[in-house]
Amino acid sequence: MMPRSSGRFSGAGVASALPIRVGVSRCLLGEEVRFDGGHKRDRFLTDVLGRHVEWVPVCPEVEAGFGTPREAMRLLGDAEHPKLITMTSKRDMTTPLAVYSKRKLEMLEQTELSGYIFKKDSPSCGIERVKLFNAQDMPSRTGVGLFARAFKERFPLVPIEDEGRLCDPVLRDNFIERMFCYHRWQLLVRGPLTRGSIVAFHTGHKYLLMVHSREGYRSLGRLVAQAHCYAPKQLAALYGRLFMATLAVKATRRKHVDVLQHLIGHLKQQLTPKEREELNSVLRDYHQGLVPLIVPVTLIKHHVTMHEVGYIQNQAYLNPHPKELMLRNYV
Ligand code: SF4
């Protein structure tokens, strides 16, 4: 068994002194808390990601006092204000779950979560497409679990996903990248916050932002160029929102190729014609889907290290999350 990581990962020159805390639906860790007394252990979470994060496990239904095993529940009524109703006895559990959620979210505020992984399809934990029944007992996939909804409203910047969507390598890479970015952002905001530290953070995330959205990157650039117009806290509030929204835009293969070409451009002076040709050839292979992203990134990192190109070396794009997760081997 590999040693557990401290979860202390630094990127873009921002060192993390604290573990990265991630909320998780308890049943995904293998705890027998489901309505039927079972669990839904997710091996990627327990055996891989768990080495790099500190879990904060939550089971809303058990912690609200519903017990295990318990009667199964479902969402009923209007998509914006659904009720949580037990399947057979038709008891309304909406209020106890809402009271619990309010109390729990206040506690989680202190925990400073950098992400949350919810159990899909659950009337308490599902983040989207949960079955919602109408008065005629017809289901539609338009519901959101009651606890997940309350969490999203209370912590709109915290990246969330469900374990089903994490099976997609692109979504997995994007979610974990956002989690680590948000963790670095939390550390920055917690430290002695200055306009200069926000500008330096922005500089270190340039290529990572560009690979998601050039428009988002430009808007953030305009904001930091006007840094002197804002108090540091005000600037951080504006920057943090736009930063997380930009990272949520999907990075495509085409956008990665653009960014990688930019990085190669920085190495123009240092590379021999043969090395340049090799890099361009690897980039073509990546563009055509013949090799994964890790291949061109590793080759560029090699040249950046060999030639000590400081500006690029500190870019979060080259090290967005722990390499042991091997996320870029599959995208
Ligand atoms: S889905 Fe949520 S409420 Fe249901 S068992 Fe898992 S953690 Fe508990």
pLDDT per position as a tens digit, 227-239: 999 999 999 999 9
Ligand 1 centroid from CA 219, angstroms: 39
- C-alpha 34/C-alpha 226 separation (Å) is 51
Of ligand 1's listed atoms, the one at least distance from the Cα of 35 is 5
Q: Which ligand 1 atom sits closest to the C-alpha of 122?
A: 1
Q: Residues enclosing ligand 1, CB less than 6 A?
A: 25-27, 33-34, 59-62, 119, 122, 124-125
Distance 284 CA to ligand 1 centre (A): 45
Spacing, Cα 91 to ligand 1 middle (Å): 18
The alpha carbon of 52 and the centre of ligand 1 are apart by a number of angstroms equal to 23
- Closest Cα to residue 119, out of 107, 110, 127, 111? 127
- Residues 6 and 20: their CA atoms lie apart, in Å, by 9
Q: Which of 1-5, 171-175, 218-222, 224-228 has the lowest mean pLDDT?
A: 1-5
Distance in Å, CA 64 to ligand 1 centroid: 11
d(CA 31, CA 38) in angstroms, rounded, equals 8
- Neighbouring residues of 95: CB distance < 8 A, sequence distance ≥ 6: none
What is the model's pLDDT at position 13?
36
- Output the pLDDT for position 8: 37
Residue 9's pLDDT band (cuts 50, 70, 90): very low
Flag whether pLDDT at 257 surpasses 90. Answer: yes
Alpha carbon distance 225, 206 (integer Å)? 14
What's the pLDDT band for 191 if we cut at 50, 70, 90? Answer: confident
Ligand 1 centroid distance, CA of 3 (Å)? 29
Q: What percent of the chain clears pLDDT 70, i.e. is strictly above it?
A: 95
Report how far ligand 1's centroid is from the alpha carbon of 303 (Å): 47
Cα dihedral 230/233/237/240 (nearest 10): 100
Atom of ligand 1 nearest to the CA of 124: 3
Query: 117-168, pLDDT tens digit by residue?
Result: 999 999 999 999 999 999 999 999 999 999 999 999 999 999 999 999 999 9
Q: Is the pLDDT of residue 10 over 50?
A: no
Ligand 1 pocket: which of 26, 84, 127, 149 to mutate (most atoms within 8 A of CB): 26
State the pLDDT at residue 63.
98
Average pLDDT of the residues in 172-198: 96
* Distance between Cα 35 and ligand 1 center (Å): 8
The pLDDT of residue 4 is 42
Per-residue model confidence (pLDDT) at position 18 = 76
Calculate how far, in angstroms, residue 198's C-alpha sits from the geometric centre of ligand 1: 38
Amino acid 131: pLDDT:
98
Percent of the chain with pLDDT over 90: 91
H helix and E strand count, the chain: 13, 8
Q: Which of 41, 119, 162 to mutate to test the pocket of ligand 1 (most atoms within 8 A of CB)?
A: 119
Query: Quick check: helix, strand or coil at residue 162?
Result: strand
Q: Whose CA is nearest to atom 8 of ligand 1?
A: 59
The radius of gyration computed from the CA coordinates of the chain, to the nearest angstrom, equals 22
pTM: 0.93
> Averaged over 23-42, what is the pLDDT?
98
Atom number, ligand 1, closest to the C-alpha of residue 62: 8
Residue nearest to atom 4 of ligand 1 (CA): 34
Banded pLDDT at 273 (limits 50, 70, 90): very high
Rounded CA gap, 125 and 38, in Å?
A: 16
pLDDT score of 17: 62
